[in-house]
Structure 1
Amino acid sequence: MAYFSNITTRQRYLELPDTFYSHVHPTPLRGDIRLVHVNKELAHDMGLSAAAPEEWADIGAGRALPEGMTPVAMKYTGHQFGMYNPDLGDGRGLLLWETEGPDGRVRDWHLKGAGQTPYSRFGDGRAVLRSTIREYLCGEAMHYLGIPSTRSLFLVSSTEPVRRETIETAAALVRVADTHIRFGHFEYAAHHLGPDAVKTLADHTIHHHFPDLEALPDNERYPAFFVEVIRRTARTIARWQGVGFCHGVMNSDNMSIIGDTFDYGPYAFLDDFDARYICNHTDQGGRYAYNRQPEIGFINCQFLAHALTSLINEDELRRCMREYETTYNEAFVSLMRQKLGLAQADNNDLSLVMDTFSMLHEHSIDYTRFFRGLSTLPSRGPAPVRDLFTDRQVADEWLDRYQNRLSSENRSPEDREADMRQTNPKYILRNYLAQKVIKAAQAGDDQPLADLLEVLKRPFDEQPEFEDYAALPPDWGKHMDISCSS
């Protein structure tokens, strides 16, 4: 395709032994194909032009491969709901190639919904329009909230029928990431290939994604690598907690080695605050509930530690693991201070934060609107906060405590408000908003998707023309049942 002739391409993942992948061609989508959306801003950053939509559609539908594109299904394993599963891998996705942008940044292209692979098990290898839209939306939402995340370059739909709980239609998207290497790659190498493969994978990952560590001697390089992975993971999960994001399926094969938010399935942003909220209705035991996410991040790092025992001795691994709690706590408390507008640290701040969470939980207060209302106290007064409470006395008592804490701050109220508005979003990707977009797209109307994406690009701005997107969800839109089915 001439359209891609000026792009510098890479196939760095293929430097690994072929035990880490299988060559697979995509199975073309059947029926009529529609290009639902192209991420023009991301395309521009990658040095691409979105001027030839038919070529995007052909790639997304698996009907064409530009010269140099060598698709492979990656092999990995991992712990699913705490149980090791040796049969995992790209069951419906293919790593197509990597392209280098004008800034020198190299990104993977991963076609999700590409058909069956050797790792599909009993799956059909397809994704459906519902799940691809949800992934497309959330990657953008997280990116513009400042949270490390994979993103999607473009999305196509087809009229090919696919059976899930009901009959849906097939779709595919190209997901973009700096790397698709997961914790599960290391678990696969350790459990099935041996120490040499673990070292090969670690050296490859460090060379391409942690180059600052490459010059260190072995006894320093591998612990430093592991510590950096731990820190990135802890910081990302702290950011999830701060914005009220629930991942839903924190299996170790869904953990990015570089700390990106990865594999969007039954996610949710909190509406009425519930610390024990479970966004995945198949998670009967609540393993991945909102308040357990920090703990699960630690457990997944333990799984990774076990996979690295041939490179790092056990005492050193235990020392490395201590970095998780330290990094998470520092990141979380720092972020919550920002959300509360506190520029100066106080020893009682953690107590204030946890008491605030307890209050929000006990009274089922909308998480996003509470902190946004708090951000505008100087200009709008207490009403946006008080009006969220049935019992105004609870709000007043908390506000008195908060104002007393603010009395020790040196910043002007105006400066504090400006900073808080850039920390506490007004617009988040509530599930009911995504569902409205999905229904419209299923009916052939892609404009609501484009409109919502525009709103999500500026989550911290007032955007009065889009005020409806910041409204409390209707009753049907709260605590929606979302499953892993895609």
Structure 2
Amino acid sequence: MTHATPHWTVDNHFAQLGADFSSPVQPTPLKNPKLIHANAELGARLGLSKADLHSDQWRAILAGNAPLPGGAPVAAIYGGHQFGHWAGQLGDGRAILLGQLRAPDGQSWDLQLKGAGMTPYSRFADGRAVIRSSVREYLAGEALHHLGIPTTRALSLITADDEIHRETFERAAVICRVAPSHVRFGNFEWFYSQNQPAQLRALADYVIHHFYPELTNAPDRYHDWLRQVSARSARLIAHWQAVGFCHGVMNTDNMSILGLTLDYGPYGFMDAFDAAHICNHSDHNGRYAWHQQPGIGHWNCARLVQACSALLSDEPPQQVQRAQAILDHYAEVYSATMRALWLAKFGLRGDGAEDDAATEVMNGFLTLMQQNHADFTLSFRALAQVSCAENSPAPRALSDHFFDSAALGVWLQSYQALLRAEGQDDAVRAQAMNRVNPRIVLRNYLAQQVIEDVEAGNSAALTRLLDALSTPYSDDPALDAFAQVPPPEAARISVSCSS
């Protein structure tokens, strides 16, 4: 088969770093690949039309059955701390970077196939992915993107006839992940662990040149870069907390150097609020529980800064001092971002004389939610319906989530008094709150319904859910089915690192 000259440009700047950073590898073809879904909106941003994405040529490229013209496929090497312990060499065990596609606006984007076969870093695994994990990652990227949270995304979802053995035999699938870069903390940790300062510095220069270009000629560029990475990570995790998102496996090799949500495995959005919620049933000690995520983000940044400490100074005492300042900045950024997000969720200003009162009211509501097992998403959404008028009752949309109506009533009086003290207008406040408190999030039971649909050869449920996730703040009654607490049978759903 011959093709016309490509109308796109492929950069291979990561591959050009050389053999110390990645290994050339070709995807392993799939049997009878079928395009289940193509992300037309993302494709357009990359300069690919719907016709491109649905063409035989691109279906073969996205399945790993044909090369990307001009591409130089590689798998990256990296290390990482997994569940708090150094794991040594890891690397792209089932991900293959085809190259960087240059979009019409000049930005380059990684096209990375996940599930495209074995690489030198597969560690005795098959390098494949199955439908359930691929569908979950495809959905998650879109869900967070439309919530305004930085994330990798997926361009396509392809299934095939190949059978993959996990707990049982499942059908193979592959997604094409898209991000400016998939470089992670673990890339730097690897060179630090191998005492290869030249490679570590080269990687830092590469990341700064391509993704932090404003720092390229800065006199203290490594310090400024690490400070920005830590700040981006802090803001990312604050936004996770604000929507009840749990990553599930916050290992350092799953932390993006760009502050993106990276590597979706056993993630989950909380249903009933529990500050100690664990979304990954493999996380037996709760290391990555919801309330632990901010501290783990700080710990992970400390591992990155430690790996890059020689870039900060030639003198060990100064390295320590400057590293601590960067980590202190993480804490400052997280606290400020989280405070602003919580105030917005409650529709409060929290300034001046009302600042302490706002803290007490917000903490009181979270305590009440935990005691009543109230739904995180829908409880916050319902707060917008509260009237600040004295002695106004709780709206039904709120009270339905609390079995202790007396405790809710006491709290509500404090909340309403604070709203009045701040001079809040109910209509204006409601509009603002509904812009930050989603009605629709990617609940596990919704994802499971789609997985079963795709496994049966039907993509209709996937399309419907993606459409709903694209408007998470909508009050459209047509989307009511996606804005419900999970049914009782959803309790059986669990996710682990194999998901």
TMscore range, shorter length? over 0.9
1:330-479 correspondence to structure 2 within 5 Å: 330-345=336-351, 346-348=354-356, 349-378=358-387, 382-478=395-491
Q: Which residue of 1 aligns with 2:333?
A: 327
Cα 1:269–1:166 shift into 2, 3 Å: same
Cα 1:479–1:353 shift into 2, 3 Å: farther
Distance 1:452 1:162 in 2: 26
**More divergent stretch after superposition (143-152 vs 468-477):** 468-477
Distance 1:71 1:298 in 2: 33
1:126 matches 2:132 = no
TM-score (norm 2): 0.94
Shift of 1:381: 6.0
Distance 1:133 1:309 in 2: 39
Find the partner of 2:119 among 95, 98, 117: 117
Unaligned runs of 5+ in 1: none
Distance 2:367 2:387 in 1: 25
> 1:279, 1:479 within 8 Å by CA — same for their partners in 2?
no
**More divergent stretch after superposition (151-160 vs 97-106):** 97-106
Distance 1:102 1:253 in 2: 31
1:54-73 Cα deviation digits (max 9, x unpaired): 22321122110132111100
> 1:333, 1:350 within 8 Å by CA — same for their partners in 2?
no
> 2:89, 2:190 within 8 Å by CA — same for their partners in 1?
no
Shift of 1:342: 1.1
Aligned with 1:73: secondary structure? strand
Distance 1:188 1:47 in 2: 35
> 1:378, 1:417 within 8 Å by CA — same for their partners in 2?
no
Q: Which residue of 1 aligns with 2:316?
A: none
Shift of 1:3: 6.6
> 1:235, 1:327 within 8 Å by CA — same for their partners in 2?
yes
Aligned with 1:168: secondary structure? strand
1:171 matches 2:173 = yes
Distance 1:105 1:111 in 2: 19
> 2:128, 2:164 within 8 Å by CA — same for their partners in 1?
yes
1:182-221 Cα deviation digits (max 9, x unpaired): 000000111115111111111111111011111111xx21
Q: Which residue of 1 aligns with 2:315?
A: none
The count of aligned residue pairs is 483
Find the partner of 1:80 among 82, 85, 105: 82
1:212-236 Cα deviation digits (max 9, x unpaired): 111111xx21111111000000000
Shift of 1:315: 0.9
> 2:248, 2:278 within 8 Å by CA — same for their partners in 1?
yes
Letter in 2 for 1:360: M
Distance 2:293 2:44 in 1: 34
1:66-101 Cα deviation digits (max 9, x unpaired): 321111001000000011111200001101111121
> 2:369, 2:402 within 8 Å by CA — same for their partners in 1?
no
Q: Which residue of 2 aligns with 1:23?
A: 24
Aligned with 1:311: secondary structure? helix
> 1:96, 1:108 within 8 Å by CA — same for their partners in 2?
yes
> 2:346, 2:383 within 8 Å by CA — same for their partners in 1?
yes
1:180-191 correspondence to structure 2 within 5 Å: 180-191=182-193
Cα 1:77–1:39 shift into 2, 3 Å: same
Q: Which residue of 2 aligns with 1:286?
A: 286
> 1:190, 1:197 within 8 Å by CA — same for their partners in 2?
no
Aligned with 1:176: secondary structure? strand
**More divergent stretch after superposition (125-134 vs 2-11):** 2-11
Unaligned runs of 5+ in 2: 313-318
Q: Which residue of 1 aligns with 2:71?
A: 69
Distance 1:117 1:38 in 2: 25
Cα 1:381–1:105 shift into 2, 3 Å: farther
Shift of 1:480: 2.9
Letter in 2 for 1:423: V
Distance 2:206 2:308 in 1: 14
Shift of 1:479: 7.1
Cα 1:400–1:4 shift into 2, 3 Å: farther
> 1:229, 1:259 within 8 Å by CA — same for their partners in 2?
yes
Find the partner of 2:203 among 201, 204, 227: 201
Cα 1:4–1:170 shift into 2, 3 Å: farther
Letter in 1 for 2:244: G
Distance 1:305 1:277 in 2: 29
Distance 1:61 1:101 in 2: 21
Distance 1:376 1:167 in 2: 48
Q: CA RMSD in A?
A: 1.5
Find the partner of 2:323 among 307, 317, 320: 317
Distance 2:25 2:134 in 1: 21
1:26-69 Cα deviation digits (max 9, x unpaired): 01112x32101000001011111121422232112211013211
Letter in 2 for 1:353: M
**More divergent stretch after superposition (237-246 vs 378-387):** 378-387
TM-score (norm 1): 0.97
Aligned with 1:371: secondary structure? helix
Distance 2:469 2:194 in 1: 42
Shift of 1:344: 4.5
Distance 1:381 1:352 in 2: 15
> 1:91, 1:119 within 8 Å by CA — same for their partners in 2?
yes
Distance 1:3 1:268 in 2: 43
1:444-486 Cα deviation digits (max 9, x unpaired): 0101000000000000011211211111101121473101114
Q: Which residue of 2 aligns with 1:56?
A: 58
> 1:158, 1:171 within 8 Å by CA — same for their partners in 2?
yes
1:251 matches 2:260 = no
Distance 2:105 2:23 in 1: 31
Distance 2:79 2:266 in 1: 20
Distance 2:135 2:396 in 1: 36
Q: Which residue of 2 aligns with 1:145?
A: 147
Distance 2:347 2:401 in 1: 20
